[in-house]
Amino acid sequence: MRILLASSEVHPFSKTGGLADMAGALGKTLARAGHEARLVTPLYPRVREQFPEIRRVDWRFDLPLGARRVQAELWALEAEPGLTAYFIDQPEFYQRGALYQENGASYADNDARFIFFAKCVAHLARYLPWRPEVVHVHDWQAALVPALLRQQQRAEEWWRPPRTCLTIHNLAYQGIFPQASFALTNLPPEFFTMETAEFYGHLNCLKAGIALADVITTVSPRYAREIMTEEFGCGLDGLLRRRQGRLVGILNGVDYDFWDPARDPFLPCAYSAGRLDGKTACKLALQKELGLPVTNAMPLFATISRLAEQKGVDIQLGALEEMLSADLQFVLLGSGAPAFEAGYLGLARRFPSQVAVRVGHDEGLAHRIEGGSDFYLMPSRFEPSGLNQMYSLRYGVIPIVRATGGLDDSVTDFTEDAARANGIKFYEYSSRALAKGIRKALALYAQPELLRRCRRNAMKLDFSWERAVGEYLKAYEKA
């Protein structure tokens, strides 16, 4: 099948979160399975420096964006044998300090930046000599593509236009802008109605995609059910219920090329389920790196995360406050809302021999933390899929998760299946419930035999992308 994937971030070229990991891995796995997959993404700073093999393509965009016309160039590289990645080069929009926001504030022209991106994707789908059968768009930044394709099809003869698939990675981000931004789409007014892009008088990019895509996927079966409820639906549950015949939940996979402790170049010591002594060496090296007391006598808990409401920062800070009187260490790697960063930094100041906090984005450290920790805390309020709990499982780091979305779908608690347990789940969204989970972890750490079994269960799980790709192919067929 010929599939054009469009995402505002793609690992290893750009990344703020799991969307990048997912888009990169999906493209790669489709190509390895013999499909013709191509990726489109914006050209951000440093990509050209880091990937010198990237080449300019003989192609120019000159597209309307409201009243003006905007030009862009196209670059490409072979990301993987059989997988071409295209980069939209529009320096005014994409050569910035970050992808979407700086100092907690979104860029004021994100409407123009990503409406333009969606237009470039639709343009490529229409005019590339290579004709995609499916255009698979991700999140609000590309969600206007189905509307743009539909309009293009109406405006001119287009024999067999591609089908569209929209993946919702996070319903909390919808790309909502003032009504005036709709003019930037240059779409006729019938696309700004209650059935399409209009949302309480505003433009809602994701809503247009949900309304018009041929199939809609989200990143876990449980989250697919959750978003059809008022509690998780972020105002779009009614529309999602109407489209439920077209909605499917597919749990994300793990790219074991990057996340495997047996061959992870970031780790000081390789290990696997059968050779766990390497894990202890990783832990001691990590403690040293973080300036924590070097010891295996107490467990090391970890979190690597965007610091946003979604991730349960408030209950985590509360639970740690309560639990730091016990013998445990905690490391956080993350960045996000300044108030949340300050909360963790405050904890590190007050408990310097137990808590280490690193603010920022650091891929190597993320791997070393997975390699060296014993337990992984993920107390999310909601979690469409979540990747770090699955990385943790492979690294033998027991996840402690709130039973929501993909966390519930990927972790098995002792109460669900004692023989196959690989993690600890809690249900209520409260510091108390999380603290109880941490207490269970301390008890588990005190029983080495049980801990070893739980680790083995975790490490032998297989969330490889081949399974998920099979499900995406079914969704494409359906489209």
Query: Which chain residues interact with ligand ADP by CB under 6 A?
Result: 17-19, 21, 304-306, 333-335, 361-363, 366, 385-388
Least distance in angstroms from the C-beta of 448 to ligand ADP: 28
Nearer to ligand GLC, 303 or 385 (CB): 385
Cα gap 119→130, rounded to integer Å: 18
Nearer to ligand ADP, 189 or 360 (CB): 360
- Pick 245 or 360: Cβ nearer ligand ADP: 360
Cβ 382 to ligand GLC shortest distance, Å = 8
Nearer to ligand GLC, 17 or 278 (CB): 17
CA distance 469 to 260: 20
- Nearest approach, Cβ of 294 to ligand ADP (angstroms)? 23
363 binds, among ligand GLC, ligand ADP, none (CB under 5 to 8 A by kind): ligand ADP
At its nearest, how many Å lie between ligand ADP and the CB of residue 309?
11
The answer to whether 41 and 32 have CB atoms below 8 angstroms apart is no
434 binds, among ligand ADP, ligand GLC, none (CB under 5 to 8 A by kind): none
Nearest 10 degrees: CA dihedral of 392, 394, 397, 403? 50
Q: 416 touches which of ligand ADP, ligand GLC, none (CB within 5 to 8 A by kind)?
A: none
SS3 state of residue 70 = strand
| Residue 373 contact, options ligand ADP, ligand GLC, none, Cβ 5-8 Å cut-off depending on partner type | none
Residue (237 or 309) nearer to ligand GLC, CB = 309
Q: Choosing among ligand GLC, ligand ADP, none, which partner's interface includes residue 261 (Cβ < 5 to 8 Å by kind)?
A: none
Residues that bind ligand GLC (CB under 6 A): 17-19, 22, 169-170, 219, 252, 383-387, 406
Q: Is 92 helix (H, G, I), strand (E, B) or coil?
A: helix
**Minimal distance, residue 390 CB to ligand GLC, in Å:** 9
Residue (8 or 170) nearer to ligand GLC, CB: 170
Q: How far is the CB of 420 from ligand GLC (least distance, A)?
A: 23
Closer to ligand ADP by CB, 198 or 370: give it.
370
Q: How far apart are CA 138 and CA 144, in angstroms?
A: 10
* C-alpha count within 13 angstroms, C-beta hemisphere, residue 466: 7
Four-point Cα dihedral 328, 331, 336, 340, nearest 10? 30
Rank residues 19 and 347 by Cβ distance to ligand ADP and give the closer one. 19
Shortest distance, position 110 Cβ to ligand ADP, whole Å: 18
Q: Least Å distance between CB 17 and ligand GLC? A: 4
Q: How far is the CB of 378 from ligand ADP (least distance, A)?
A: 8
Q: Would you say 126 and 152 are in contact if contact means Cβ atoms under 8 Å apart?
A: yes
Measured distance CA(143)–CA(210) in Å, rounded? 8
Nearest to 72, CA basis, from 92, 54, 52, 55: 92
304 binds, among ligand GLC, ligand ADP, none (CB under 5 to 8 A by kind): ligand ADP
**Quick one: what does residue 420 bind among ligand ADP, ligand GLC, none, with the CB cut-off 5 to 8 Å set by partner type?**
none
Q: Which residue is nearest to ligand ADP (CB)?
A: 18
The pair of three-digit structure tokens given for residue 260, joined into one six-digit string: 């495997």
The rounded distance, in Å, linking the Cα atoms of 83 and 28 is 7
Distance CA 403, CA 241 (A): 23
Q: Which does 80 bind (CB under 5 to 8 A by kind): ligand ADP, ligand GLC, none?
A: none
In this structure, what is the dihedral angle of CA atoms 52, 50, 27, 135, given to the nearest 10 degrees?
Answer: -80
Phi, psi of 317 (to 5 degrees): -60, -40
Q: Name the minimum Å distance from CB 304 to ligand GLC.
A: 13
Q: HSE-up of 339 (CA within 13 Å, CB side)?
A: 4
Given a contact cutoff of 8 angstroms between Cβ atoms, the answer to whether 247 and 240 are in contact is yes
Residue nearest to ligand GLC (CB): 18
Q: Which is nearer to ligand GLC, 226 or 341 (CB)?
A: 226
Nearer to ligand GLC, 191 or 259 (CB): 259
Q: Of ligand GLC, ligand ADP, none, which one sits near residue 283, judging by CB under 5 to 8 A according to partner kind?
A: none
C-alpha distances in Å from residue 302, one per residue of 213, 317, 321, 374, 377: 39, 13, 15, 8, 6
Among ligand GLC, ligand ADP, none, the one that 334 touches (CB under a kind-dependent 5 to 8 A) is ligand ADP
Q: How far is the CB of 305 from ligand ADP (least distance, A)?
A: 5
**Closer residue to ligand GLC in complex, CB, 25/421:** 25
361 binds, among ligand GLC, ligand ADP, none (CB under 5 to 8 A by kind): ligand ADP
What token pair was written down for 238? 């009614």
Tell me the C-alpha to C-alpha distance, in Å, between residue 433 and each of 310, 323, 428, 443. Answer: 17, 12, 6, 16
Comparing C-alpha atoms, which of 129, 138, 128, 154 is closest to residue 24? 138
Among candidate residues 413, 223, 386, 405, the one with its CA nearest the CA of residue 304: 386
